Amino acid sequence: MSFKNKFITFFLVFSLFSISAQAAENYTLLIRTEPAGAVAEIVGPNINQKVQTPTSIILPKGEYSITITKEGYETVTGKILLDQNKQTKVTLVKKEVDTRFDLTVNSNEQNALIEISGDRIDTVKGKTPTTFKLPQGNYKIKVSKDGYTEFVTNVFLNSSRTITANIFPKQDTNRVRLTINTNISNAQITITGNNQAETKYIAPVSILLPIGIYTVTAVAPGYQSQTRQVALYGDKVEFFSLESISMKFNLSVTTNLSNSIIEIFARDGRSVFYGEGRCSIHLTIDEYTIKVSAPGYQPQTRQVMLNRDTQVNITLTRPSGKLIIEIPDNVLNTTIRSPLSLIKVLIDGKEHSGLVFDLPEGQHKISIISGGIKIDYDIYIQEGKVYTLRPYIDLTLSVE
């Protein structure tokens, strides 16, 4: 066959690059999660490593256990046989939040019957002392025992608390009921007088006492105590409204930017500070919300319970997105060891290691270099988005 006036030209068009390659016993594992930012613990022969998702890691051939954790989500555990380049994606499931609180009911006479009813539950029963787990809400508590007076009270449960019921023999006709409520949950009540020994209770409390005059004191941490005389000649209800002690502490806020705006809000939404860069302010005991912002940076919000001098440091960062470079199996040279280590990635002219990158929002130039080939790619990164760049090789054959 004559090839006169004929020739064959081969064109190799590389969309990104030609890759030197991976040894047969080393493979790439790409792990993704939804949502991102989970911790993946990889355990295998002579390997115990924790990485943050999404991630790309080179491992020797073998079987690996992978445990994925993220705060607020269920833990996922599984195994994978790495005998080729693989990628896996795991969708995490949110944990159910238990919003129930402990309600403990005691009584001065043990084994009294407890009956609790409310809008959100059927009536539950038990014997004193018993602790119930109940959702937030209003409850009616009744404690009774044969031959004894009944104890009844209403409570609003929004935190764990203890109720003490005092019941007395029914034949004691010289006793009358004193009920004490306060504006502070679990305030301590002390009762003295009328030739009775000093007794302490936790509000709210309802007790039977002999007719007479008593001194009642209510105290709670961070509040002014109150004492009053109570003339008890019939059933009576007393309410103590305790006032907060005006104790102040220093709240100091610093940031990494001199032009950042700092705002501090009280629990009721009132603004108590507005300024730039840093702040130092004395405030009363309470919970405060700190908001810090600056042009071109992600705002930050922090909740602080101020019950001592407190220093808060807040670092602002620019909005960012994530770039993942995936290397397909068909472009890897399997005749040499660790081909991925021979690939260079330049971002805006600077060399970076790895194949997963957090980049600030904006335009970036991605350069991929392998051997004598360098490919450039321009990409605009948006905040919160994940971009995947996959190189491939296209072969074109021309015959003339």
- pLDDT, tens digit (0-9, with 9 covering 90-100), for 212-269: 999 999 998 878 889 998 988 888 999 998 887 777 889 999 999 988 999 999 988 8
pLDDT higher than threshold 60 for residue 83: yes
Find, among 153, 63, 173, the residue nearest to 106 by Cα. Answer: 153
Does 343 reside within a domain? Answer: yes
Mean pLDDT is lowest, of 38-42, 309-313, 350-354, for 350-354
Same domain, 222 and 342: no
Does 285 reside within a domain? Answer: yes
With tokens 């040279």, the residue in question is: 333
Q: What CATH number does the domain containing 306 carry?
A: 2.60.40.10
Residue ending a domain, choose from 314, 347, 362: 314
Same domain, 106 and 236: yes
The tally of domains found in the chain comes to 4
The per-residue pLDDT of the chain, averaged, comes to 85
- pLDDT, tens digit (0-9, with 9 covering 90-100), for 96-155: 766 789 999 999 888 999 999 988 788 999 999 999 999 888 999 999 998 788 899 999
The pTM of this model reads 0.33
Domain that holds residue 260: 248-314
Same domain, 67 and 129: no
Does 3 reside within a domain? Answer: no
Same domain, 121 and 184: yes
Residue ending a domain, choose from 215, 240, 265: 240
Dist. CA 101–CA 161, nearest whole Å: 8
Dist. CA 167–CA 180, nearest whole Å: 15
Contact call for residues 179 and 237 (beta carbons, < 8 A): yes
Does 16 reside within a domain? Answer: no
Does 389 reside within a domain? Answer: yes
Dist. CA 79–CA 88, nearest whole Å: 11
Residue ending a domain, choose from 314, 340, 370: 314
The helix (run of H) or strand (run of E) holding residue 306 is strand 300-306
Same domain, 118 and 175: yes
**Secondary structure of 29-71 as H, E, C letters:** EEEEEECCCCEEEEEECCEEEEEECCEEEEEECEEEEEEEECC
Does 93 reside within a domain? Answer: no
Same domain, 296 and 372: no
Same domain, 282 and 178: no
Does 319 reside within a domain? Answer: no
Does 320 reside within a domain? Answer: no
Please state the φ and ψ torsions of residue 339, each to the nearest 5 degrees.
-65, -30
Would strands 310-314 and 248-255 be described as parallel, antiparallel, or unpaired? parallel
- pLDDT, tens digit (0-9, with 9 covering 90-100), for 332-388: 777 888 787 788 899 999 998 888 998 888 899 999 888 788 888 899 988 888 999
